């Protein structure tokens, strides 16, 4: 079966040009003119871009006494409606479990449900010797990135010794280490002090997790990675101080990368102080900061101090625990520390960034593709299979109508939540055709995908190496432009 996407303007991380895209079965086979096919998708007046890649999501994740509300079907369907065709989720090690058991647990969640292609990062919460040995095996399972949490004391948080050991081992075997960088010990004290003083409202979530504690942990993780000779990827960077730590490390020539998430460009700690309990909708970690931090983030993604924009999609119901819904934000009424941390956004990312990033003159069309598609693929070992429009790549292709408009609303979105952070925001530009390996997932607003059609992606080692490399070599390989 040959499909031609005809008459569109192809946009990659580096180029914008007019050409047709010929797809045969699951792959792009040719890009050019005068190509013949069995069926044609008319893309005139539209952009043709690689499917979005979201490398930071939490589907069906047990957290904060409940579970995130999108599973591997509802989350995938929502992603596709927003032009995202690949994601990498976190398989989070329950204490005492092996990494193999952890991965199997998360594979079972995706089985029969996945509608887009997916991979897993392994999130380590417990690192005895046998788990250290498993890190070396993980690339054979197709997992080439680890995640460690420097926050969430008493739950997911690890100590510096664990982080340092994981960094060394990961670097030795070609894995990229990711960190949630906040100082969990200090936050724990601030939270107790706030509760003791009777401060229970959602806004205290932001006030007990100051930006300095993110900047400190970011710098600490970077310095540990430097000593370990390891590449490092800092997730959900929110503020100027954390950006500065990354910029300085990159200036020293170190393989340090940073991601921010869409929502950090738009909200501040004042959103957590909305009337009543409304602010709980905006509770996530790290929290929303100041207007000046938003500016710092726009600048950072523009000048490549940060390389990726993802979502940290971790949705909870605002009014959960009824009508078959798992418990949600209401768990934290009367105690901000019990509000499940996380916000939805997997569907909104590409549209919000097109409207406000490209449309707002913050970055170019090509940089939008680079931040949302190409850099995630390169850093996480799935390039050029994903993240580019080129012969030989998977036919994950989005036809994007730059003129289509719509208004974001929880009433019409596909995420399994009863609210949307961007409620009422007007979008210009949206996907009209979304293909995953040549199959239509979405066409003109209609769902055409299937649960179970999404495939697990076995990813290459960091830096593209298929074999293990010694730590210093891994670090040197990571210093390429991204
Ligand atoms: O609040 C958040 N971000 N929830 C998801 C877990 C994490 O820290 O990424
Ligand atoms: Zn996190
Ligand atoms: Zn997260």
Which residues are found with C-beta within 5 Å of the ion, ligand 2? 180
Tell me the H-state helices in 209-336: 211-228, 240-251, 291-302
Q: Which atom of ligand 1 is nearest to 149's Cα?
A: 8
Ligand 1: which of 66, 213, 342 to mutate, judged by most atoms within 8 Å of the beta carbon?
Answer: 342
Ligand nearest to the CA of 206: 1
* CATH (domain of 42): 2.30.40.10
* CATH (domain of 243): 3.20.20.140
pLDDT of residue 3: 98
| 223 Cα: distance to centroid of ligand 2 (angstroms) | 19
Same domain for 125 and 38?
Answer: no
Low-confidence ranges of the chain (pLDDT < 50): 465-481
Q: Is the dihedral of CA 363, 436, 266, 250 positive or negative?
A: negative
Instruction: Judge whether 420 lies within some domain.
Output: no
Nearest CA to ligand 1 atom 9: 312
| 113 Cα: distance to centroid of ligand 2 (angstroms) | 25
Total structural domains in the chain?
2
Place of tokens 């970055």: 363
Instruction: Judge whether 309 lies within some domain.
Output: yes
Instruction: Judge whether 87 lies within some domain.
Output: yes
| 180 Cα: distance to centroid of ligand 1 (angstroms) | 8
Q: Supply 387's token pair.
A: 């993240």
Place of tokens 């010929």: 22
- Are the beta carbons of 280 and 332 closer than 8 angstroms? yes
| 47 Cα: distance to centroid of ligand 3 (angstroms) | 30
Same domain for 37 and 56?
Answer: no
Integer CA distances (angstroms), 41 to 27, 81, 285, 401, 450, in order: 16, 18, 42, 13, 20
pLDDT of residue 463: 83
Nearest CA to ligand 1 atom 7: 285
| 65 Cα: distance to centroid of ligand 1 (angstroms) | 14
Phi/psi of residue 2, nearest 5 degrees: -115, 125
Same domain for 154 and 124?
Answer: yes
Full residue range of the structural domain in which residue 106 is found: 52-371
pLDDT of residue 472: 44
Instruction: Judge whether 443 lies within some domain.
Output: yes
Instruction: Please state whether 151 falls in left (phi above 0), alpha (psi between -120 and 50) or beta.
Output: beta
pLDDT of residue 8: 98
pLDDT of residue 103: 98
Same domain for 154 and 212?
Answer: yes
pLDDT of residue 464: 61
Same domain for 153 and 270?
Answer: yes
Q: Which atom of ligand 1 is nearest to 285's Cα?
A: 1
Ligand 1: which of 280, 341, 345, 421 to mutate, judged by most atoms within 8 Å of the beta carbon?
Answer: 341
Q: Which atom of ligand 1 is nearest to 180's Cα?
A: 8
| 310 Cα: distance to centroid of ligand 3 (angstroms) | 10
Nearest CA to ligand 1 atom 2: 342
Ligand 1: which of 284, 336, 345 to mutate, judged by most atoms within 8 Å of the beta carbon?
Answer: 284
Same domain for 284 and 397?
Answer: no
| 50 Cα: distance to centroid of ligand 1 (angstroms) | 27
Instruction: Judge whether 378 lies within some domain.
Output: no
d(CA 473, CA 463): 10
Nearest CA to ligand 1 atom 3: 285
Nearest CA to ligand 1 atom 5: 342
- Are the beta carbons of 297 and 245 closer than 8 angstroms? no
Instruction: Judge whether 326 lies within some domain.
Output: yes
Instruction: Judge whether 461 lies within some domain.
Output: yes
Ligand 1 is surrounded, with C-beta below 6 A, by: 58, 180, 284-285, 312, 314, 341-342
Instruction: Judge whether 468 lies within some domain.
Output: yes
Same domain for 279 and 188?
Answer: yes
Same domain for 66 and 44?
Answer: no
Nearest CA to ligand 1 atom 4: 342
| 9 Cα: distance to centroid of ligand 3 (angstroms) | 34
């Amino acid at each position: 079966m040959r499909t031609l996407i005809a008459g569109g303007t192809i946009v990659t991380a580096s180029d914008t040009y007019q050409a047709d895209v010929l797809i045969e079965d699951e792959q792009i086979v040719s890009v050019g003119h005068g190509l013949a096919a069995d069926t044609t998708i008319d893309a005139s007046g539209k952009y043709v871009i690689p499917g979005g890649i979201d490398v930071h999501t939490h589907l069906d994740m047990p957290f904060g006494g409940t579970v995130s509300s999108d599973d591997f079907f509802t989350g995938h369907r929502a992603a596709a409606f927003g032009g995202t065709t690949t994601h990498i989720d976190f398989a989070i090690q329950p204490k005492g479990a092996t990494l193999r058991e952890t991965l199997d647990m998360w594979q079972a969640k995706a089985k029969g449900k996945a509608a887009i292609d997916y991979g897993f990062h392994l999130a380590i919460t417990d690192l005895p010797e046998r788990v250290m040995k498993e890190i070396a095996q993980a690339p054979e399972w197709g997992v080439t990135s680890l995640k460690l949490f420097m926050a969430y004391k008493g739950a997911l948080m690890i100590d510096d010794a664990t982080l340092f050991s994981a960094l060394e081992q990961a670097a030795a075997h070609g894995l990229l280490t990711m960190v949630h960088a906040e100082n969990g010990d200090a936050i724990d004290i601030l939270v107790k002090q706030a509760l003791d003083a009777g401060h229970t409202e959602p806004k205290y979530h932001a006030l007990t997790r100051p930006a300095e504690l993110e900047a400190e942990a970011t710098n600490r993780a970077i310095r540990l990675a430097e000593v370990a000779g390891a590449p490092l990827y800092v997730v959900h960077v929110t503020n100027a101080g954390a950006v500065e730590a990354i910029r300085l490390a990159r200036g020293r020539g170190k393989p340090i990368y940073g991601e921010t998430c869409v929502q950090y460009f738009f909200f501040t700690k004042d959103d957590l102080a909305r009337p009543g309990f409304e602010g709980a909708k905006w509770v996530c970690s790290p929290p929303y900061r100041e207007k000046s931090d938003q500016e710092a983030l726009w600048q950072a993604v523009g000048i490549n101090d940060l390389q990726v924009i993802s979502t940290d999609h971790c949705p909870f119901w605002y009014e959960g625990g009824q009508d078959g819904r798992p418990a949600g934000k209401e768990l934290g009424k009367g105690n901000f520390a019990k509000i499940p941390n996380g916000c939805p956004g997997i569907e909104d990312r590409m549209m919000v960034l097109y409207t406000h990033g490209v449309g707002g003159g913050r970055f170019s069309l090509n940089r939008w593709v680079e931040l949302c598609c190409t850099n995630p693929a390169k850093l996480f070992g799935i390039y050029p299979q994903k993240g580019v429009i080129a012969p030989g790549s998977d036919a994950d292709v989005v036809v994007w109508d730059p003129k289509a408009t719509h208004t974001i609303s929880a009433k019409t979105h596909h995420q399994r939540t009863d609210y949307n952070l961007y409620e009422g925001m007007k979008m210009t530009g949206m996907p009209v055709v979304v293909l995953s390996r040549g199959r239509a997932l979405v066409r003109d607003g209609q769902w055409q995908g299937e649960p179970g059609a999404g495939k697990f992606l076995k990813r290459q080692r960091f830096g593209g190496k298929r074999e293990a490399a010694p730590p210093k070599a891994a670090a040197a390989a990571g210093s390429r432009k991204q």
